[in-house]
Amino acid sequence: MNVSEAVLTRRSVRAFLDTPVPLNVLRDVLEKARWTPSGCNFQPWEATVLSGEPLRQLQERMLASAPQDPLEYDWSAPEVIPACKERLNRVGAAMYGAMDVARDDAELRAEFMRANTVSFGAPAVLVCYLPRVMKEPQWSDMGMWLQTVMLLLSEAGLDSCPQEFLSMYARLIKDFLGVSDESHILFCGLAIGYRAPDAKVNGFVRERVPLDENVRFLGF
């Protein structure tokens, strides 16, 4: 697989097989991802990868708990921009539509929320966090690292789903992992595994805005 294929075929998978993910494959992916660029070479990303019994125990704790208040950070602020709100609405309609979940079906939407909490059945979950002293540039570096990880997972035949949703349980997760809430902020989880090929939620049509809507070219 070349880089273009990895970029174009990667998607956020929301239904996984229970097939275990080999540790050596994950180590190889994360070993390569160390070479992600970072400003001033700070390399701010830190992570824990869970599978098996530790993952089950963490998920049980989350299922038995309410989301924290206040939240770890605000990830929905862009909704005040009409174009962003519309993009959110369109992808939500496509996703729930693929699963035949009506807007007013509270039971099925709650079931999907539970699936989100357990990372859609993924057999491995990477949880990433960084020191609170890190600012916007280092958050950008974390994003570059995660994108690198996801593309390398694609190359290795694995699928993934980045989950800012897990930040709603940030303090609980950090306590479970032995990470200080005082010194670190949790960014997201990354569900990792093999996609369930017949799950409708893994096949709905995704959209991206036209290139010229977000990018200008000057001087060419």
Tens of pLDDT along 157-180?
999 999 999 999 999 999 999 999
Tokens of 42: 């700070």
pLDDT for position 167: 98
pLDDT for position 68: 97
Confidence band of 73 (pLDDT split at 50, 70, 90):
very high
Pairing type for strands 159-163 and 46-51 reads unpaired
pLDDT for position 1: 83
User: In the predicted model, what is the mean pLDDT of the chain?
Assistant: 96
- The CA distances from residue 194 to 14, 48, 145, 160, in Å, are 10, 20, 21, 8
Q: What's the CATH fold of domain 3-200?
A: NADH Oxidase (3.40.109)
Radius of gyration for the alpha carbons in the chain, expressed in angstroms and rounded: 18
- Percent of the chain clearing pLDDT 90 (strictly above): 93
pLDDT for position 104: 87
Pairing type for strands 184-193 and 159-163 reads antiparallel
Q: Which has the minimum average pLDDT: 13-27, 64-78, 102-116, 193-207?
A: 102-116
Give the mean model confidence (pLDDT) for residues 25-41. Answer: 98
Q: Could you give the CA distance from residue 124 to residue 101 in angstroms, rounded to a whole number?
A: 27
User: Is 144 within 8 Å of 164 (Cβ atoms)?
Assistant: no
User: Is 26 within 8 Å of 49 (Cβ atoms)?
Assistant: yes
pLDDT for position 103: 84
Give the mean model confidence (pLDDT) for residues 178-199. Answer: 97
Q: Which has the minimum average pLDDT: 66-70, 109-113, 180-184, 216-220?
A: 109-113
Q: Could you give the CA distance from residue 8 to residue 127 in angstroms, rounded to a whole number?
A: 24
- Percent of the chain clearing pLDDT 70 (strictly above): 100
